Amino acid sequence: MKEIELKYGCNPNQKPAKIFVNDGRELPVTVKNGKPGYINFMDALNGWQLVRELKAATGLPAAASFKHVSPAGAAVGIELTDVLKKIYFVDPEEELSPLACAYARARGADRMSSFGDFIALSDVCDVPTAKLIKHEVSDGIIAPGYEPEALEILASKKKGAYAIIEIDPEYKPQPIEHKDVFGITFEQGRNEYKIDKSLLENIVTKNKDLPEIAKIDLVIALITLKYTQSNSVCYTKGGQAIGIGAGQQSRIHCTRLAGSKADNWLLRQCPKVLDLKFVDGISRAERDNAIDLYIGEDYMDVLADGAWEKVFAVKPEVFTREEKQKWLSQATDVALGSDAFFPFADNVERAFRSGVKYIAEPGGSKRDDLVIEAADKLGITMAFTGMRLFHH
């Protein structure tokens, strides 16, 4: 097939709409089920590139959860702990393949942002992964193939309307790409820069310690940033993104946004949150919202007006600011990547508050010396990659 007609573009008033390959070749994608739209394909194609590169860089199956052309989560297939299974709503008895672990991590990083996402998988979708996806609210998926039973499970979602895309893993686009804005065509070489552990060799801080898992986490952060709307910052730990800040005009706001998401991920693992009791029949999305509210600063208001009874079976104790700070103070070994240099030391200082111990950023700021000095004071290992990763 050389083109696919779409219902409309970004918005219903933007017609006609279609996708095709400029050089006249066959499309590398096949729609197996449903009718994916313009934004679905944008998420799918960006997500596919991300997971393909994660797999190439780490050798592990990879998954991504995309929303509005930026990832809400990205991860590789490392086994889940019992705590992670609980916060990701994975049955402890569930059979999990490495690909299913990657998906659970990607979906679980920021569950509120992943609501209604588009999923990307690096490998053929297997049954364990499809069973996890079955229970989540999602618009669609892209993968290089599907096991027959997995395809059947996925096709039953959304009353049979779930968008399922298969992509040719051997497809390689032309080296020059184009984009039209306001009737004007932009042309540039594709960003084919290869990201791997060799990018982390220029360590500029006094602390040179960079263990293997930290290298993997930094590579995950940098590849994730390559497909995240800039400005962007990504916090990672244990083989997955735990906080992504995308599309901010100020880098410190980006660092704060991603840091607050990383904090939420860490707070969800606190026993006080794990022990919350919910009313019967509550949906996963309602649980996610309730947990986010419980962790938030305004939960006292909810307790006071009795609204807690709608979601909690037992009135929860207040999660005080002091308790949260004590729990977060135990966080460590978090990695952070930035798609461009840190212009001020405040980014390093904010990252440290969320347990960041390893940083990878391009370097090149007039204030690099101050940024390095801040990292040295906090005992952080920082590598300058020399490569900016803007994505627009």
Top mean-pLDDT range of 230-234, 284-288, 293-297: 230-234
Top mean-pLDDT range of 21-35, 122-136, 306-320: 122-136
pLDDT band per the 50, 70, 90 thresholds, residue 23: confident
User: Which residues sit opposite 140 in a β-bridge?
Assistant: 118, 163
Range in 108-117, 309-318, 330-339 with the lowest mean pLDDT: 309-318
Q: How far is CA 349 from the centre of its chain?
A: 23
Distance (Å, rounded) from C-alpha 92 to C-alpha 82? 7
Helix (H, G, I), strand (E, B) or coil at 245: strand
Decide if 68 is catalytic. Answer: yes
> b vs e for 338-367, b when ≥16 Cβ sit within 10 Å of the residue's Cβ?
bbbbbbebebbbbbbbbbbbbbbbbbeeee
Closest CA to 239 of 122, 95, 353, 79: 79
pLDDT at residue 170 in the model: 96
Helix (H, G, I), strand (E, B) or coil at 154: helix
User: What does DSSP assign to residue 149?
Assistant: H
| Tokens standing for residue 46 | 């960006």
Decide if 392 is catalytic. Answer: yes
8 Å CB contact between 277 and 312: yes
The catalytic position among 55, 67, 157, 215 is 67
- Cα dihedral across residues 152, 156, 160, 166: positive or negative: negative
Distance (Å, rounded) from C-alpha 229 to C-alpha 68? 9
pLDDT at residue 159 in the model: 94
Better-scored residue on pLDDT, 287 or 300:
287
The catalytic position among 231, 237, 264, 347 is 231
Look over the chain and give the mean of its residue pLDDT values, rounded to a whole number. 94
User: Which residues sit opposite 166 in a β-bridge?
Assistant: 30, 143
Instruction: Indicate whether 303 pLDDT > 80.
Output: no
Closest CA to 64 of 128, 10, 131, 110: 110
Residue 210 belongs to what H/E stretch? none
Decide if 231 is catalytic. Answer: yes
Decide if 18 is catalytic. Answer: no
pLDDT at residue 363 in the model: 95
pLDDT tens digits for range 84-136: 999 999 999 888 999 999 999 999 999 999 999 999 999 999 999 999 999 99
pLDDT tens digits for range 146-186: 999 999 999 999 999 999 999 999 999 999 999 999 999 99
Instruction: Indicate whether 60 pLDDT > 90.
Output: yes
Q: Rounded mean pLDDT of 271-289?
A: 92
pLDDT at residue 1 in the model: 80
The catalytic position among 159, 172, 366, 392 is 392
Instruction: Indicate whether 31 pLDDT > 90.
Output: yes
pLDDT band per the 50, 70, 90 thresholds, residue 310: confident
Percent of the chain residues topping a pLDDT of 70: 97
Q: Rounded mean pLDDT of 208-231?
A: 96
Q: What is the pTM of this model?
A: 0.95
pLDDT at residue 223 in the model: 97
Closest CA to 267 of 259, 255, 256: 259
Q: Rounded mean pLDDT of 334-354?
A: 96
- Cα dihedral across residues 30, 33, 36, 40: positive or negative: negative
Hey, what domains does the chain have and what are their CATH numbers? 3-172 (3.40.140.20), 177-267+328-384 (3.40.140.20), 271-318 (1.10.287)
pLDDT at residue 317 in the model: 87
The catalytic position among 68, 158, 197, 272 is 68
